[in-house]
Amino acid sequence: MDINLVNVINQHKASIKVSLTLKEESQQFTKLLFKAFYDCDTDAHKALQDLEHLFVKIRNRACPEIKDKPCKRWEDFKDKIPDLYASLKMDAEAIYNNDPASQSIEEIYLAYPGFFAISIYRMARVFYQLNLPLIPRLMTEYAHSVTGIDIHPGAQIGASFFIDHGTGVVIGETTTIKDSVKIYQGVTLGALTVKKQYQNTKRHPTIEDHVTIYANATILGGDTVIGTGSVIGGNTWLTKSVPSHSVVTHNHQIEIFSKIKKADE
């Protein structure tokens, strides 16, 4: 055995103190939480017991200095569950009412990656507001790995939120999204400048009520506000605010020509 190599590895581990078990258990916790909320074959009482046990384990791994202390309690999350249910029901109904391809509300819960990502975001957001470190990010990153939708738990998202298709959506930490907003695949709500010195500032845009943002639009900057009722067209790049009830489009030229040469050419 190469003792020197083992020592190097152990020194590196000691310096970063990363627990992959925490990541794995956080994913397990997230999956069980979703099943406890929605799966009719999952016993709710047993699931809540298992979730409490898992919560204590991941809390103690994430915060070893507060191990077994009550400052981050399962009860703090459990008290929020009725409000979470009400909020997620509004999200599911928004998706069902706005997507002509949806056949039933059950389909939304089972088959829509946007709803899954929103659900995990809202669950993680509760832990984020309780100042529980790391675990909210692990939860939303699990949803990101499953759906391709990246929502930071620090983002503030209002009621009746609709993500359609969803692959490639990015919603940054200081984004504010008001009520009844619809976004499509590839949308980025990001920072205009990425520098560590801006860590505690608002770096991401504000989206007002009843805004629709179509595929692959990019909206950047903490001072950027998309006004109420606006429609942002696909492939648009915005770094400035848009007044209420605006339509923003990206104009580009498309040329269509025949591959077959004419006889006289």
Do 142 and 30 fall into the same domain? Answer: yes
Do 50 and 111 fall into the same domain? Answer: yes
Percentage of the chain lying above the pLDDT 70 cut: 95
Which distant-in-sequence residues (6+ apart) come within 8 Å of 251 by Cβ? none
pTM higher than 0.85 for the full model? yes
Do 144 and 59 fall into the same domain? Answer: yes
Q: What average pLDDT score do residues 212-220 get?
A: 98
Name the one residue in this structure whose structure tokens are 């089972």.
Answer: 110
Do 132 and 169 fall into the same domain? Answer: no
Say if residue 253's pLDDT is above 60: yes
Is the residue at 223 inside a domain? yes
Say if residue 68's pLDDT is above 60: no
Do 232 and 133 fall into the same domain? Answer: no
Which distant-in-sequence residues (6+ apart) come within 8 Å of 230 by Cβ? 208, 211, 212, 242, 243, 244, 245, 246, 247, 248
Is the residue at 68 inside a domain? yes
Do 128 and 159 fall into the same domain? Answer: no
Q: Is 93 helix (H, G, I), strand (E, B) or coil?
A: helix
82 backbone dihedrals φ, ψ, rounded to 5°: -60, -40
pLDDT on residue 263: 60
CATH number, position 57? 1.10.3130.10
Q: 217 vs 13, which has greater pLDDT?
A: 217
Grade residue 262 by pLDDT with cuts at 50, 70 and 90: low
Number of structural domains, the chain?
2
Question: Residue 172 is part of which domain span?
Answer: 155-249
Do 27 and 46 fall into the same domain? Answer: yes
Is the residue at 33 inside a domain? yes
Is the residue at 258 inside a domain? no
Mean pLDDT of the chain: 92
Grade residue 251 by pLDDT with cuts at 50, 70 and 90: confident
Domain finish residue from 97, 120, 149: 149
Question: What are the CA-CA distances from residue 103 to residues 108, 111, 147, 198, 253 (Å)?
Answer: 9, 11, 21, 45, 37
Say if residue 116's pLDDT is above 60: yes
Do 26 and 126 fall into the same domain? Answer: yes
> For the CA atoms of 87, 91, 96, 98, what is the dihedral angle to 10 degrees?
130
Structure tokens at 145: 């790995």
